Structure 1
Amino acid sequence: MVKRKMKWSMVLLLALTLVSSACSGGGNTPEPSGNNAGEEQTNAGSGSGDNKEPVTIEFMGHGNPTEKSIFEKLIASFEDKYPNVTVKYTSVPPGEYAQKMKTLIASGKAPDVFYVGSAEFYRFAEAGTLLNIQPYLDQTSLFNPDNVWKQAMDRYRYDGSKIGSGDSYGLPKDVGPWAMVYNKDLFDKAGVPVPSAKAGEWTWNDMLDAAKKLTSDENGDGKPEVYGVGAYSLESAVWGNGGEFIDYAAGEVKVDQPEFYEAMQFVADLNLVHKVSPDQEAEQAMNAYTRFLNGQLAMFAMGPWDQPGFWELPFGWDIAAWPASPNTGKTATWLGSMGFGISAKSKHPQEAFDLAAFLSLDADGQRENFTLGQAVPNLIDMANGEFLEMDKSPANRQVFLDIIQDYGRPDIPYGSKDTQWIDTFWQNASKVWTGEMTAKDWTAQMKPQMQELYDKNNK
């Protein structure tokens, strides 16, 4: 999945450059290959394979040391189930992944299986870099379309001209609901009621009132030791307020609309006016993630992949729905996802699909994945059953599922072949965060630049 997004810190989203390959994403559909492909697909997940020729495949992903450790365990389980297959696993730092993939694809040495997400998927599918796995899905007993989140599967469909429909060119590694996490101990100490887990019951006004009571400057130096809220999600504010970054259907950037700039100003004013959120200087000294781990931030954001680290925290915590806009009464947040792509040039497409399917669809793989704290299960019955019944935090696990089913939205780069238009937004947003310009004036200035970049590279 797309990992942590620190918009308040203006982290530049790295865009992976399109590298064309010989075949077109909308061209001929490859057929399953490998020894006894049809039989192997029908029995996928059975563990049969003792008499097959040894095969080695390469798998490359990215993530922190916790994610690497989790995937090492998952791969070991896969190799137990498919004893003829050896997986050469490489995990690279997230900041190096885009360039590494670009180099490998250009040299014809792409891994058999690799992470792909957001705009990367669009480019890779269009360029023919990804294998059309629909024939494999049609034959495997692992895939029940009624038991896998449609919101996740549709991220990796491509019909030759757009994403979201057509054949599958990838499988979801995960679907990542971005929830609001809070420090229960700080709320209890301040005597503040905790935020609601139900969407729409807690508004921006409720959040701001709580944040004021939770912000603490005990030594009076003007620099709070504890802040009420940090790295507040601009997407959540904009979408909840009825705004949009872009209308993909019309190809129109929408940041200059009142619903957008009013929401952006609200986020900026959490620091500029209300002083309940770290300013950029404080954020650079200690980012919001570290501040939350240190018990110095009452409300933050988390995805399911954060659970292993949060399980070790010395204070109580739980998750809630993002606050609703008081103007609309609606709640929204982003629903990230990372996928498993298979190289169209893989010499072992069957075994590569088996690995991707084990990591994405196999019940054993999914169970191990969620119990290790990596993700919400892709399998709906498991998510509604075993996942909700876990005896580990967060207690309000249903919030993750509510986001997936009800009010989660794809992240902004979804639907773009090139992300320069949104990259330039985040690169220059400091003018609003620091108070140099109002959100209204800045978005009016930015709209033409963003529109020009979008039209140039995406139409």
Structure 2
Amino acid sequence: MHVKTNRLAVIAVLLVMSMLVALTGCGSSNNANSANASKEPGNQNQGASNGQQVTSDEKVEISFMGHGDPNEKKIFASLIQSFEDKYPNVKVNYTSVPPAEYNQKLTTLVASGKAPDVFYLSGPAFFKYAEAGTILDIQSYLDNTELFKQDNVWKQAIDRYRFDGKNLGTGDLYGLPKDVGPWAMAYNKDLFDEAGAAYPSAEPGGWTWDDYLKAAQTVTKDTNGDGKSDIFGGAGFPLEAAVWGNGGQYIDYVTGKIAVDTPEFAEAMQFIADLNLKYHVSPSADDEKAMNSYSRFVAGKIGMFPLGPWDQPAFWDLPFGWDIAPWPASPNTGTTSTWLGSMGFALSSKSKHPQEAFNLAAFLSLDPEGQKQNMEMGQAVPNLIDMAKNDYLNNGKAPEHKQVFLDIIEYGHPPVEYGSKDTQWLDTFNQEASKVWTGKQTAAEWAKEIAPKLQDLYDKGNK
């Protein structure tokens, strides 16, 4: 039977079909994560084909958990308010947990299926959660995002959160950097001036262990004549900085071999121990019990002490002049080294709103507005390279030689635990090292004795 067709009706149907195809194309993606995200009614998904955003006014709630001191909590509350102003349909429920309780709290939430949409993660926990599929592979979101330019982010920061299914540092992205943490050496300019000591060099390799020791001896003083030092030349010289600078290492992660039983390692460790045991220019364990070195430094009683960017707000209020320098180089190699820390923002693989979660992580990590606020409040060196090299360097606030932080981002090492899923071997190292710090054993004797035990612990927990 023939049916008479109305030409206008046919045209209308064709137009409707064309519109449906076009809308489907804008919201489509060539990856599973974006496809799943587009099914969420509140998502602001970005199409892989043209990068356009599809937004929704539907109200969405996501959760974010971090940790830190009251100052950090205040900073992130401000940043989240700015995010909510930018994305008015999204409500962020922010929880700040005391640092000592954070890992246990996160473990409990993950085990109960109630992981936050976005949360802090780094080091061994990041390794384990990425391997277990607890956190979301966000490479597709990164590939399609217009929220930031990848080539304007420190490679050393963003690559920290890559995982290829077996190793860290390569493969897809599973997190965004909260920060990069260059571990520099702060020094009290007033104490140096009073002692007539030259300031440390701001150039990598410009100062050696010998220069450090000489300055520390000059600054160290017994001010009340009781035979005990009241002002120490230095404290907290990182063992990692000395070991790596001297050509040693804790472990070869490629082979999984513990590497502490070497002359390079023992020499570096003995140098750190002798700053107290032999030269008496740094506090002893008993001195630390009476007053920890951080408190001594802020009280103006230590000449040189470690500092990360997160310390800046507290240090801005110190009643003495201060600046930063690289950790001294080994006189044997001329090489300067230190560790480069980082905390990341990870997304739960069970999040019901992955696009909004990614938007929050991207805002806190890399949004220019968020990074500017972070920088101005002294929380971190900007993750954005152009902002770090311009606005940060020229913001008029201490330290004067902020370039030292940027240099460390380029040459610093990830912390020793990066690459371990289980850190019992490193925990044991740190606990047993007191035998060297108290002079019960030399570094060489101790390293030879402890190496097999550390190897056994590493093999059991990581292989």
How many angstroms does 1:37 deviate by?
4.3
**Aligned-partner residue type, residue 426 of structure 1:** N
1:38 to 45, 70, 79: 45
Please state if 1:422 is matched with 2:429: no
> Does 1:257 find its partner at 2:262?
yes
Give unmatched runs, 5+ long, in structure 1. 1-27
Residue 290 of structure 1: how far off its partner (Å): 0.9
* Equivalences, count: 427
Q: How far did 1:221 drift? A: 2.1
What is aligned with 1:9?
A: none
The equivalent residue for 2:294 is 289
Whole-angstrom CA distance in 1 between matches of 2:331 and 2:81: 49
Task: Find the residue that maps to 2:369 and give its secondary structure.
Answer: helix
CA apart distance, 1:223 = 2.2
Alignment pair present for 1:306 and 2:311: yes
Report the Cα distance in structure 1 between the residues aligned to 2:47 and 2:287, rounded to whole angstroms.
Answer: 56
Q: Which residue of 2 aligns with 1:90?
A: 95
Q: Does structure 2 retain, via aligned residues, the 8 Å contact 1:58–1:87?
A: yes
Q: Which of 228, 249, 272 is matched with 2:277 structurally?
A: 272
Counterpart contact for 1:179–1:320, Cα < 8 Å: yes
| Distance in 1 separating the partners of 2:307 and 2:379 | 12
Q: Secondary structure at the match of 1:284?
A: helix
> Residue in 2 aligned with 1:346?
351
Quote the residue 1:372 is aligned against.
Answer: 377
Runs of 5+ consecutive residues of structure 2 not aligned to the other structure: 1-30
User: Which residue of 163, 180, 185 maps to 2:185?
Assistant: 180
Greater Rg by CA: 2
Superposition deviation, residue 66 in structure 1: 1.0
Tell me which residue corresponds to 1:327. Answer: 332
Give the equivalent residue in structure 2 for 1:410.
414
**1:136 corresponds to which residue?**
141
Alignment equivalent of 1:362, drawn from 367, 371, 378:
367
State the AA in 1 paired with 2:232. Answer: Y
Task: Compute the displacement of 1:287 (Å).
Answer: 1.1
Distance 1:40 1:282 in 2: 60
- Return the alpha-carbon distance in structure 2 between the equivalents of residues 40 and 112 of structure 1: 22
Letter aligned with residue 30 of structure 1: N
1:398-450 Cα distance to aligned partner (Å, 9 max, x none): 00000011x20000110111111111000111100000111101111110011
8 Å Cα contact 1:29-1:132 kept in structure 2 = no
Higher RCO (Cα < 8 Å, 6 or more apart): 1
- Partner SS, residue 58 of structure 1: strand
Q: 1:432 aligns with which of 426, 429, 436?
A: 436
**1:155-207 Cα shifts (integer Å, max 9, x gaps):** 10111111111110100001110000000111111111100000111000000
Is the contact made by 1:230 and 1:299 (CA closer than 8 Å) also made in structure 2?
A: yes
Q: Distance in 2 between matches of 1:205 and 1:397?
A: 24
Q: Matches of residues 191-206 of structure 1 in structure 2 within 5 Å?
A: 191-206=196-211
8 Å CA contact 1:43, 1:140 repeated in 2: no
Tell me the residue number matched to 2:4: none
Superposition misfits of 4+ residues, deviation over 6 angstroms: none
TM-score by length of 2: 0.90
1:442 match: 446
How large is the RMSD of aligned CA atoms in angstroms?
1.4
Distance 1:209 1:230 in 2: 14
TM-score (norm 1): 0.91
Alignment partner of 1:64 is 2:84: no
Q: For residue 137 of structure 1, what is the amino acid of its counterpart?
A: L
* Residue-by-residue CA offset, 1:362-394 (whole Å, 9 max, x unaligned): 111111111110111111111111111110000
| Letter aligned with residue 356 of structure 2 | E
Q: Does the Cα contact within 8 Å between 2:187 and 2:305 map onto a contact in 1?
A: yes
